[in-house]
Amino acid sequence: MRLMLVLADDLSGAADCAVACAGHGLHALVLLNGRGVALLSDRDVVLLSDRDADVLSIDCDTRSQSPANAAAEVTRLVQKYSRSPDHLLFKKLDSTLRGNVAAELAAALEARRLISADRRIVAVLAPAFPANGRTTANGRQLVHGRPLEETEIWQREAGPARSHIPETLQEAGLRSALIPLHAIRSDMGELQSTMTRLAEAPNVDVLVCDAETEDDLRAIAAASMVLSPSTVWAGSAGLAYHLPLAAGFAGTHASISDQPLAIGPTLFVVGSLSSVSREQAKLLAASPGVVDICISANILMEGEHSPEWLRHQRTLHHALDAGSDTVVWLHPELRVENEKGPLLTAALGRLAAQCPGRIGALVATGGESARAVLDAWGIARLHILGQLEPGLPLSVTEGWTRQLPVLTKAGGFGTPQTLLHCRQFLRHLDRSSAANLCPAPRSPVPRSPIPESRA
């Protein structure tokens, strides 16, 4: 029986939350819902998910959609997969508040209220992710202590950044109450009383929680269990790490098929425009034995009609056929307009469309880029096994032609050596059985902060 439903707006977020739950011994499955997947019918997906997974984490693929379309998709998925009030519902949000944060949370909350007889359902929102430098202070979201307005991430976005969370929520008509840090760090009974009082207030939809440490998130998760089971929990993967224990969920790691893993070179697809990802790709490309395919946005936009695009595709196929690990990444050129982002990720998917039979593993940076490639290959399900490092979930494909190891990462996460770490792990992997894919056990809670220079 499913214990928890996660709705994320991109693939890396869905995988981050799933690995947070897998660390507690729960069977976590990522479902690529929506366009481009025709391997299973809707009925098959529901039955298999209910039978197989304690945690179903769905990539709604709504990061780049309009607020109205994103809200409609979230409503549809809540109604389809979370009609039981016993399912803990977690709405995963980007830790830098990109995407349709307010519209999607409002949709999840309204859908939950319609399903439940308790109309005073609220959302508990804690978007901090301390292990990756994201904190919340006085209702403002910070990256390594800097407000969102000052970060590189938001300089690439079309709209203005708003670090003040209540202001962001007002865009969708959500009324919020702030629980400041001193209240989060008060006695547990006092924090529970504060949450209960605010949740019962007629003018409150969302409890916005400050948090700077894992202990803060742990206290939020534990105290919030006093609220209705139909509560909507929301935040980054940081809060998701603490919810299973707070809710009393326990499990044994799901058995993994003893079938052999796919054999072949690793394809690295770096679609993120983050300077962090570009530095990682640059180091990987300079490694011996790695074929470097650095492609410009203009060539990607021209597509198959461009001789340069076809040349890059031939280079990719020849490299993989020769057994060479290969990295495909966007050229560090002038700023790419925000509206071109979905077109670029779709082009990356087309570029890699004929590669699945040539590779033995996929490493993808940027949730939308990873989604584009997996859609192109017809991969609908990922069984989450663990993580190599914080923010780097490891999975294996399910219901596909081969058992392919997949590593996904948000663009701004990791150290300069992260992709090198991925390559080393996959090069030395015993592929005789999928059980060998599991990395060494780690704490379910990430505790290695990213250096401030990598923000």
What is the pLDDT confidence band of residue 255, given thresholds at 50, 70 and 90? low
Highest averaged pLDDT of the listed ranges 81-95, 109-123, 368-382: 368-382
Cβ atoms of residues 412 and 153 within 8 Å: yes
Which residue ranges form the domains of the chain, and what is each CATH number?
4-247 (3.40.50.10840), 266-454 (3.40.980.20)
Give the per-residue pLDDT at 39: 32
- Write down the pTM of the prediction: 0.87
Report the sign of the C-alpha dihedral through residues 162, 166, 170, 173, in that order: positive
The yes-or-no verdict on residue 288 having pLDDT over 50 is yes
What is the pLDDT confidence band of residue 300, given thresholds at 50, 70 and 90? confident
105 phi and psi angles, rounded to 5 deg: -65, -40
Q: What is the pLDDT of residues 341-358, one digit of tens each?
A: 778 888 888 999 999 999
Q: What is the pLDDT of residues 182-212, one digit of tens each?
A: 999 999 999 999 999 999 999 999 999 999 9
The yes-or-no verdict on residue 150 having pLDDT over 60 is yes
Q: DSSP letter at 435?
A: G
The yes-or-no verdict on residue 34 having pLDDT over 50 is no
What is the pLDDT confidence band of residue 217, given thresholds at 50, 70 and 90? very high
Give the per-residue pLDDT at 184: 98
DSSP 82-140: --STTSEEEEE--TT--SSHHHHHHHHHHHHHHHSS-TT--EEEE--BGGGTEEEETTE
Give the per-residue pLDDT at 42: 40
